[in-house]
């Protein structure tokens, strides 16, 4: 019973990881790719670690929980840093982009300063 539940979580986690990788290939620009690479993959990895928690013994489960905690803190922070850096260094967004308030505000501020 325990093993079946853990296998189900493992399978769903792998499915989300696969979706993240497909998104990484299919999406058109940096920001969208970053989104696919961090989010779906974080949830997928979280589900895989959850299956480890269910199947493994108590010490293993404790370490898996710690890993889960650290991944859920570091992965969005890294995504945030990369997205901000690519926006500040003027990497172009996809041509179908609707609006870009951040670049507008940033350019306005630098104009006011000079």
The footprint of other proteins (CB under 8 A) covers 16, 19, 22-23, 26-27, 29, 31-32, 34-36, 38-40, 42-43, 58-59, 62-63, 65-66, 72-73, 75-77, 79-80, 83-84, 87, 93-94, 96-103, 105
Q: How far is the CB of 51 from other proteins (least distance, A)?
A: 15
Q: Which residue has the tokens 């650290």?
A: 70
- 31 to each of 52, 73, 83, how far by Cα in Å? 31, 19, 6
Of 31 and 48, the one with the shorter C-beta distance to other proteins is: 31
Q: How far is the CB of 50 from other proteins (least distance, A)?
A: 11
Of 1 and 68, the one with the shorter C-beta distance to other proteins is: 68
Distance of alpha carbon 38 from alpha carbon 78, whole angstroms: 9
Distance of alpha carbon 110 from alpha carbon 101, whole angstroms: 14
Distance of alpha carbon 61 from alpha carbon 52, whole angstroms: 7
Q: How far is the CB of 9 from other proteins (least distance, A)?
A: 13
Cβ atoms of 83 and 56 closer than 8 Å: no
Report residue 76 as tokens.
């969005």
Q: How far is the CB of 53 from other proteins (least distance, A)?
A: 12
Of 1 and 5, the one with the shorter C-beta distance to other proteins is: 5
């Amino acid at each position: 019973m325990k093993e079946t539940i853990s296998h189900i979580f493992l399978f769903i986690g792998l499915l989300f990881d696969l979706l993240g990788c497909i998104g990484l290939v299919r999406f058109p620009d940096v920001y969208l790719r970053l989104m696919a690479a961090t989010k779906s993959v974080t949830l997928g990895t979280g589900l895989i670690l959850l299956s480890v928690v269910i199947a493994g013994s108590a010490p293993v489960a404790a370490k898996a929980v710690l890993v889960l905690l650290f991944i859920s803190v570091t992965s969005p922070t890294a995504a945030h840093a990369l997205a901000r850096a690519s926006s500040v260094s003027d990497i172009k967004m996809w041509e179908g982009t609707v609006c870009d308030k951040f670049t507008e505000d940033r350019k306005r501020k630098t104009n006011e300063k000079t």
